[in-house]
Amino acid sequence: VAIDEVEAALSAFEVRGRGEPAEHWAIGGPSLILNLREEVNGMAVVDVADHVWPDEMGDPDNEPEIFAAWAGGQFGPFTFPGGLARATDQSWVWEEAAEGQARHLAFSRVRTSYAIGAGEDEPVVPEDYDPDEELDFVTRVAAALLELPGALCYFNPNGEVLRDQDALLESLNFGWSNELPPLDAWSNVRLFRINEDWSLMDTVGNAQYDLPDLEACYFNDAYEPSDVDNLLRNITLYLLQEGEVIEDGDTLDGPGGVVWQVMLVDDPLCDPPRDVLRWIPLDDRPVPDEVTQTGDDEEGDEDSGADAAGEADEAE
């Protein structure tokens, strides 16, 4: 897509100027610089990469430029290898995600910065930085880019979310009309099998709000996945309003009319690596060993037993 077409699609935004391509496309292609918050040097850089999304994020030996760009946050500050594949597998709203992902040939990035052209003593982010405000701006830019001919979908790599245009606009409009942040456009809720009897539902992407992600582990036949989904979203909204006030061992009334208790854990049961709060219902059922591990001195998620092949009918 030519940068002139991108500028036409973003006519509703204030364009500060254009940027030249970097030496390697992974760092930056032809770009536009949009005004985000001029009073604190806030801007958004929208560039075009004539390449497929490098989902493995490069190799230090064979693809050092891509690997270095990923390590430097050029594909998103919380992006982890395999994120597009996981987002495709866990796309419960957009059923054609796999088909759309397979067709894509290029991508456009929307990245924010407060440091471009700033002095050495200037802060990386302003004191009144608001992640919700910034995410809203970035998502509105992405929604405008979806008007371009040939645009397939919106991908938030930090939250591993895939949406086509209709699903993204539905999420944004619901949030705006109800004065709620459009969490499902920014962070995904995923479903995995721990074993034959237990499931894991988790969020990915809460780090964008400077909050931990959430895991809920439960006996399959005892709880409706939709109720567990609502639990995770409601806890996220509570944390957004109150901050990180949940402590290890805290409880709340959850799905099934059961009290659920939280564990603070160092390692999630499934990629990507991140801080999580793990919720377990206190229903007197024996809990699998991998669920009760906190991550201290454990080997990580390779031995967790969680299976990425979640059932679509369960997620509904």
Give the 3-state secondary structure of the chain.
CCHHHHHHHCCCCCEEEEECCCCCCCCCCCEEEEEEEHHHCEEEEEEEECCCCCCCCCCCCCCHHHHHHHHCCCCCCCCCCCHHHHHHHCCCCCCCHHHHHHHCCCEEEEEEECCCCCCCCCCCCCCCCCHHHHHHHHHHHHHHHCCCCCCCCEEECCCCEEECHHHHHHHHHHHHHCCCCCHHHHCEEEEEECCCCEEEEEEECHHHHCCCEEEEEEEHHHCCHHHHHHHHHHHHHHHHHHCCCCCCCCEEEEHHHEEEEEEEECCCCCCCCCCEEEEEECCCCCCCHHHHCCCCCCCCHHHCCCECCCCHHHHC
The yes-or-no verdict on residue 307 having pLDDT over 90 is no
Mean pLDDT of 87-95: 94
Nearest to 282 by CA among 191, 218, 238: 218
First to last CA, the chain: 36
Mean pLDDT of 281-288: 95
What is the sign of the dihedral through the CA atoms of 76, 180, 98 and 30?
negative
- The 10s digit of each residue's pLDDT in 185-232 is 999 999 999 999 999 999 999 999 999 999 999 999 999 999 999 999
The better pLDDT of the pair 65, 311 is held by 65
- The pLDDT-based confidence of 306 (bands split at 50, 70, 90) is low
Residue linked to tokens 């001195």: 297
What local confidence, expressed as pLDDT, does residue 100 receive? 87
What local confidence, expressed as pLDDT, does residue 72 receive? 94
The Cα–Cα gap between 3 and 32 comes to 8
What local confidence, expressed as pLDDT, does residue 298 receive? 45
- The pLDDT-based confidence of 296 (bands split at 50, 70, 90) is low
- The 10s digit of each residue's pLDDT in 228-278 is 999 999 999 999 999 999 999 999 999 999 999 999 998 999 999 999 999
Report the phi/psi class of residue 161: left, alpha or beta, with left for phi > 0 and alpha for psi in -120 to 50: beta
The Cα–Cα gap between 36 and 13 comes to 9
The yes-or-no verdict on residue 309 having pLDDT over 90 is no
The yes-or-no verdict on residue 310 having pLDDT over 60 is no
| Structure tokens given for 216 | 């809920």
Residues 6 or more apart whose CB falls under 8 angstroms from that of 180 comprise: 174, 237
Residues 6 or more apart whose CB falls under 8 angstroms from that of 80 comprise: 57, 271, 272, 273
- Cis bond before residue 272 (omega within 30° of 0): yes
What local confidence, expressed as pLDDT, does residue 266 receive? 87
